[in-house]
């Protein structure tokens, strides 16, 4: 089943199985590098896409898993987390922190754990979809599974 997956997606697959998440990674024919593209590809509303956004806070990466329907309010989030300024990571920082490229960043399968925030709005959906390590891969999971997978802090992000 996993033989057809890209190497980055195999790391995500292994991370999912390590915490007993059984959703299968789907390889899409077209890129799902944005929440809108991913939602269209799997037939769900954009809010059910767990968008993986990498920021930099206190000299370290911060992964924010936000609903595809939201924008992250970095000032408000910094205040909620008690961090210094939160800034969008550069493509190079994203690749270094996650081993993945923008548009395909998964919530797991990274070289080292990343501090993660999970948008509480994702709890409204019985099933959510996240990137599977490349812009052409996605997988389904529940909100509770996402929180468990990432060890994330649940917060309002918009």
What's the count of helices (H) and strands (E) in the chain, helices before strands?
Answer: 5, 8
Percent of the chain at pLDDT > 70 equals: 98
Q: How far apart are CA 73 and CA 115, in angstroms?
A: 17
| Total domains present in the chain | 1
Segment 109-135 shows an average pLDDT of: 97
29: CATH: 3.90.960.10
Confidence class for position 1, pLDDT limits 50, 70, 90: low
Q: How much is the pLDDT for 3?
A: 63
Domain range for 103: 7-155
């Amino acid at each position: 089943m996993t033989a057809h997956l890209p190497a980055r997606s195999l790391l995500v697959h292994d991370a999912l199985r390590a915490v007993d998440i059984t959703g299968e990674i789907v390889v899409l024919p077209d890129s799902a590098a944005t929440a809108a593209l991913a939602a269209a590809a799997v037939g769900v509303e954009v809010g059910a896409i767990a968008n993986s956004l990498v920021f930099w806070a206190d000299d370290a990466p911060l992964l924010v898993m936000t609903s595809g329907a939201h924008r992250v309010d970095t000032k408000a989030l910094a205040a909620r987390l008690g961090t210094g300024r939160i800034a969008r990571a550069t493509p190079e920082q994203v690749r270094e922190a996650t081993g993945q490229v923008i548009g395909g960043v998964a919530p797991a399968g990274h070289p080292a754990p990343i501090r993660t925030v999970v948008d509480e709005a994702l709890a409204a959906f019985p099933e959510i979809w996240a990137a599977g390590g490349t812009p052409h891969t996605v997988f389904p999971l529940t909100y509770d599974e996402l929180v468990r997978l990432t060890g994330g802090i649940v917060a309002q992000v918009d």
